[in-house]
Structure 1
Amino acid sequence: MARITRQLAVPSALGTASMVGAAGAAALAYATMVERNAFTLRKFTLPVLPPRVPSLRILHVSDLHMTPAQRQKQAWLQQLNALEPDLVVNTGDNLSHARAVPHVVQALGGLLSRPGAFVFGSNDYFGPRLKNPLKYFKKDHERVYGEPLPWQDLRAAFKEQGWLDATHTRRELEVAGVRISIAGVDDPHIERDRYDAIAGRSDSRTQLRIGLTHSPEPRVLDRFADDGYDLVLAGHTHGGQLCLPGVGALVTNCGIDRSRVKGTSRWGSRMYLHVSAGIGTSPFAPARFFCRPEASLLTLVSRPDRAPSVEEGHAVSQSEATVR
């Protein structure tokens, strides 16, 4: 009888292995062909403005990782202008190909004619390379850079259209009746940040202070918080890119906790942090799983006269809509 049982166990094990393999293949097909193209607009409402100041709508885009052939992504980006945001913020990693600059500019289209500001990420400066994905689980892994990308051309195109380069500079502007101070740093992920260039508090008449960084590294976020910023916008994490149901992101590829890998959270007692899960992926890892590509529409409204305590939470609402 024991011999018969062992003989029956062999095909059972083979069947289980086949089912696991089929499930893995199906998940990979979904991640590469469906979810990475399931572009989603996420909407958030944040109480960050002083009392009785008019609301302001910010469109946050990040991590386009554009290549010339990505027509579906380009078409989706062009639709975002219909949202009519008051301000557009781009937190970098726009490029994944040496000839992608005109495609990024065309895809952003009408958004470039609106008030906007940007900082760059490492994949604006250097092209993507094939990497061992296990390296992402080690924060201090050696970085290998790809071929230089034409970031100067992209910067010139953005500036020609009127967008502000916030890299290591502080810019003052008025948008939709709100006096805004915007400052940013170059990508901390490759240690190009020089926060001392923008250190200090802005004009006391400023009604909204926005900080920009590609990678949300704690050392930079702490400096923004200490200088009294209301909101910091970042990208880089891809929301974890490959996530597990009930678990979420496995890595953030930076110094923040996995719970902050995308969306909005409080940093310190006053400042909000918004991390975009991004719109694209590296051409060498064209997959997303339980982490759709996204842009964010942030509606900023007046905060209560009394700031909420930590126990009361941060009063953020959000929703999403998928466009395919």
Structure 2
Amino acid sequence: MLWLWVLLGVGTAIFVWAALIERNLFTVKYDSVAILPKGSRPIRVLHISDIHLAPWQKRKQSWISKLAELKIDLVIDTGDNLGHRDAIKPTLECLAPLIKIPGVFVNGSNDYYEPTVKNPFAYLSKPSSPGQQHRIDTETFTSGLEGGWLNLNNRSGELTVKGTRLGFIGLDDPHDQLADYGSIKEPKNVDVLIGVAHAPYLKVIEELGASDIIFAGHTHGGQVCLPGGRAIITNCDLPAKNARGLSGWETEKGYVFLNVCAGLGTSIFAPVRLFCRPEVRVLTLLPKN
């Protein structure tokens, strides 16, 4: 009988940690990759994703509002910023200091639809599906981001940052089949080509394979992981070992780096993180040797 009480105590402790503590332990992860032309100045990129903000999450809002203090040169937002139908105003407010910095963004499904209750165990067998959902005022939210950032939803664009001409090619959310792979023209005569998408499906990596690097989110890093941060699922067909961080891929279009951000939030209906702290990533782009 004692072992039942021990198991109950351990289970309760794990749940309390995952639901009340770890999901609020926001952190910044740092890495670097050499993809710039020789002689270029380094570019510090803030990769933010999967905020899933709800209006009552004041601690998260305060933390995000201070990220501009990291002395960032470029912001890349890979979507799922919203986590509640009433989150548009507070999300734009906490992102306001970052929107003053050059940046780009794409949407995730949660930027179009309210979150719904789903069976968490279904994720173990296959990626989630949209189902019946209520629309959010995406146009108002997108307009706010466009006040400072390039909208890359099935679009391309260019920015010059610290003397380096950056080209971007972006996809609307592949997870909800919104990506239009054939209609986007790649920028020409740029120093670096950057792909941006919410969900890092293998088809996305292949289609954006001509890029020097792809930025994506969606996976939540696995969200509930094994000890050591080993992901079990990615909610797409990306291998679990690549659920977060930097990796390299051989595609038919060439070799490309992939940077996956585990994100800052969770669905309000599954507010837990275990062995997977909420994060943003600062990736320094360096000149090639």
Aligned length: 286
Amino acid at match of 2:187: S
Q: Of residues 237, 248, 270 in structure 1, which corresponds to 2:219?
A: 237
Distance 2:271 2:125 in 1: 21
CA shift for structure 1 position 270: 2.4
- The amino acid across from 1:168 in the alignment is N
1:119 aligns with 2:106: yes
Q: Secondary structure at the match of 2:273?
A: coil
Q: Percent identity?
A: 38
Measured on the aligned residues, the alpha-carbon RMSD in Å equals 1.3
Alignment of 1:105-254 (within 5 A): 105-139=92-126, 142-159=129-146, 161-198=147-184, 201-203=186-188, 205-225=189-209, 228-246=210-228, 248-254=230-236
1 CA distance for matches of 2:236 and 2:248? 17
How far, CA to CA, are the matches of 2:129 and 2:190 in structure 1?
41
Give me the whole-angstrom Cα distance separating, in 2, the residues matched to 1:299 and 1:211: 16
**What is the distance in 2 between the residues matched to 1:174 and 1:247?**
36
Residue 264 of structure 1 is aligned with which of 246, 256, 260?
246
Contact 1:126/1:145 (8 A) holds in 2: no
- What CA distance in whole angstroms lies between the structure 1 residues aligned with 2:243 and 2:72? 24
Determine which structure has the larger helix proportion and give its number.
1
Of residues 278, 281, 291, the one that matches 2:266 is: 281
1:66-113 deviation per Cα after TM superposition (whole angstroms, max 9, x unaligned)? 111100000000110101211111110011111111101111121111
- TM (norm. structure 1) is 0.86
Structure 2 partner of 1:57: 44
Correspondences of 1:287-302 after superposition (within 5 Å): 287-302=272-287
Q: Distance in 1 between the 2:177 and 2:17 partners?
A: 35
Give the distance between the partners of 2:151 and 2:130, measured in 1 at CA.
26
Render the CA deviation track for 1:45-70: whole Å, top value 9, x for unaligned: 11111211111111010001011110
CA distance in 2, matches of 1:141, 1:230: 29
**Residue identity in the other structure for 1:272:** F
| Unmatched tracts of structure 1, length 5 or more | 1-13, 305-324
Q: 3-state SS of the aligned residue for 2:44?
A: strand
- The alpha-carbon deviation at position 167 of structure 1 amounts to 1.1
Structure of larger gyration radius: 1
**Structure 2 spans left out of the alignment, 5+ residues:** none
Mapped contact 2:168–2:187 kept (Cα < 8 A):
no
Deviations 1:218-252 (A, max 9, x none): 11110111xx2011000000000000115711111
Are the aligned partners of 2:157 and 2:187 in contact in 1 as well (CA < 8 Å)?
Answer: no
Q: Does 1:42 align with 2:54?
A: no
CA distance in 1, matches of 2:154, 2:100: 23
Once the two structures are superposed, what CA deviation does each residue of 1:158-214 show, in whole Å capped at 9, x if it has no partner? 11x221101111102211111000110011111111111125x531x3111111100
